[in-house]
Amino acid sequence: MYTVVPRRNVCGPGVLVLHSWWGLNEFFRSFCDRLAAAGFVALAPDLFGGKVATTEAEARALRAKASASRREPAYRYLVRTIGELFNHEAVSAGGLAVVGFSMGGHWAYWLAQRPELPIAATVTFYAARNGNYAASNSSFLAHFAEDDPWVSRASIIAVTL
């Protein structure tokens, strides 16, 4: 898990950052650092236990192995992590934001469907997930590539309706 707080030890809004299937690599740590520099408390849970992929084959293997070898299911780990972030002493009052990239975006949508979680904003990059968002308390901002072999046009339409 990687947590950074705003400089000058001030309170700020909480942001959960969910990495892609590459793992919690330097890009996602740097993303958290940039959020903290802008005044947010950023927390990035590590879904792969410290392992990072550099090839697509490694990423597929990490994703498959992580699902099978976790002591705690990923959904429970993420819900617990949201509670930790929400109750962090540097997080200002109000709901949290979730930012998810690819696989992490898939989890962000899953979390945002749960009205019992304090998610006020969901931002995704290159991810879609069908579901029922009617009860969600979140606002959504989704980023997609014009031509993405991983996210179908039908999935994008379903998420954006």
pLDDT tens sequence across 27-43: 999 999 999 999 999 99
- The SS3 of residue 156 is helix
Q: Name the CATH superfamily, with its identifier, for domain 2-160.
A: Alpha/Beta hydrolase fold, catalytic domain (3.40.50.1820)
Q: Residue 16: name the closest of 38, 52, 40, 37 by CA.
A: 40
Cα–Cα dist 58/46, whole Å: 16
Instruction: Give every CB contact of residue 77 below 8 A, 6+ residues apart in sequence.
Output: 45, 47, 70
The reported pLDDT for the residue numbered 159 is 64
CB-count exposure of residue 137 (10 Å: 0-12, 13-18, 19+): middle
Measured CA distances, 36 to 6, 84, 145 (Å): 4, 17, 27
Measured CA distances, 6 to 18, 82, 84, 89, 133 (Å): 19, 18, 17, 12, 31
What are the phi and psi torsion angles at 91 (to 5°)? -85, 125
Q: State which residues of the chain have pLDDT below 50.
A: none
Condensed to tens digits (0 to 9), the pLDDT of residues 72-100 reads: 888 999 999 999 999 999 998 789 999 99
- The SS3 of residue 112 is helix
Domain ranges of the chain: 2-160
The reported pLDDT for the residue numbered 72 is 80
**Is the full-model pTM beyond 0.85?**
yes
